[in-house]
């Protein structure tokens, strides 16, 4: 395990899946606690694919029918390819290239034909922990190259609960009490198999998070998109680099996300069903964590009207995201 430190904060990183196994940050009283779902040992990660804290690739999110052009990737989410196929980057052991107290660089090679994708892809990921203007900052820098035209879309799939207490169900509070701001004027509604439709305004919908909203207030409002997905599992089309702000009013922990990616997938943990034990043997249920995943838009390889997801020989894919933790 790799341990990165910045002040009292720590990130524990596993080479398996380039996974953030734990993320410990202080609350407004200086008490440090873990705020991400995961497992206590490797057996938990190997037993079931849960995406807890993992790096997702080659292509994060869904590709309709697993098909684009002449390429057919295996379907592993109904008819679609999800998160790079059944054996994506989250199921691989990444090579550790460089480690210090504050940063770690990991890399992976994905060969031609991997999960049906064409071309050899070399990807590199650097995590860095720092203190900036009283904020604890966890930075994720990704880059990739390929020797054939192929889609690449990497993201971090952390399941966050800023309240902590992940090992004590009696004290763990629901993320439905968190306040969320997403700086996006538009989002992508989805069809019955979660493939995006047309870009749609958030105005007048429960997808309008341009001002802080308590998540639980609208998630069961009966909006057809929330009924279809059993909650939020949608891409938000970002207005700028400041993507989101998540706040737990009880602990005072605040997380801001700054990214160079055009989309943010907000997933409200709809399929956490209490059947998979996590840390301390606690089996998370819906409401125990949520995901905010900076990335390209889903199904981009099939949508010329979406941001270009194709990486071509001679080009370099880059993705930089900062997770900034403060208190109020």
Q: The domain spanning residue 227 has which CATH number?
A: 2.70.98.10
The pLDDT assigned to 270 comes to: 95
Q: State the pLDDT at residue 26.
A: 97
**Mean pLDDT along residues 92-115:** 97
pLDDT of residue 158 exceeding 90, the answer is: yes
pTM: 0.96
pLDDT number for residue 21: 98
**Structural domains in the chain (count):** 1
Is residue 264 within 8 Å of 292, Cβ to Cβ? Answer: yes
Interval 205-258: pLDDT, tens: 999 999 999 999 999 999 999 999 999 999 999 999 999 999 999 999 999 999
| pLDDT recorded at residue 121 | 98
Reported as a pLDDT band with limits 50, 70 and 90, residue 271 is very high
Mean pLDDT of the chain: 97
Residue 133 has pLDDT above 90, yes or no: no
- Which candidate, 27, 83, 54, 87, places its Cα nearest to that of 250? 27
Measured between alpha carbons, how far is 304 from 306 in angstroms, rounded to an integer?
5
Inform me whether the pLDDT recorded for 317 exceeds 90: yes
Q: Which residue numbers are catalytic?
A: 157, 293
Domain that holds residue 272: 2-327
Range 102-127 average pLDDT: 98
């Amino acid at each position: 395990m790799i341990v990165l430190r910045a002040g009292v904060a720590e990130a524990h990183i596993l080479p398996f899946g380039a996974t953030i196994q734990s993320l410990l940050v202080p609350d407004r009283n200086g008490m440090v606690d873990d705020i991400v779902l995961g497992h206590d040992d490797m057996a938990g990660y190997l037993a079931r694919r849960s995406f807890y804290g993992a790096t997702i690739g080659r292509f994060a999110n869904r590709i309709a029918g697993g098909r684009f052009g002449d390429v057919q990737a295996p379907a592993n989410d109904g008819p679609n390819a999800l998160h790079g196929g059944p054996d994506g980057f989250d199921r691989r052991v990444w090579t550790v290239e460089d480690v210090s107290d504050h940063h770690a660089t990991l890399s992976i090679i994905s060969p031609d034909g991997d999960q049906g994708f064409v071309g050899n892809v070399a990807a590199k990921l650097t995590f860095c922990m720092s203190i900036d203007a009283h904020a604890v900052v966890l930075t994720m820098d990704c880059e990739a190259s390929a020797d054939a035209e192929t889609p690449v879309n990497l993201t971090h799939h952390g399941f966050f609960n800023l309240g902590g207490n992940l090992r004590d169900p009696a004290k763990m509070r629901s993320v439905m009490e968190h306040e969320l701001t997403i700086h996006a004027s538009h989002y992508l509604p989805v069809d019955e198999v979660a493939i995006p439709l047309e870009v749609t305004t958030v105005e007048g919908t429960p997808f309008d998070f341009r001002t802080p909203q308590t998540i639980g207030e609208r998630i069961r409002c009966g909006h057809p998109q929330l009924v279809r997905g059993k909650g939020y599992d949608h891409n938000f089309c970002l207005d700028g680099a400041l993507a989101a702000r998540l706040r737990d009013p009880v602990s005072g922990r605040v997380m801001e996300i700054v990214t160079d990616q055009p989309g943010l997938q907000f997933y409200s943990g709809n399929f956490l069903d209490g059947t998979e034990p996590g840390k301390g043997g606690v089996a998370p249920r819906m409401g125990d964590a949520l995901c905010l995943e900076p990335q390209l838009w889903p199904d981009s390889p099939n949508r010329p009207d979406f941001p270009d997801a194709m990486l071509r020989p001679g080009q370099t894919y880059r993705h930089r995201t900062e997770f900034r933790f403060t208190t109020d």
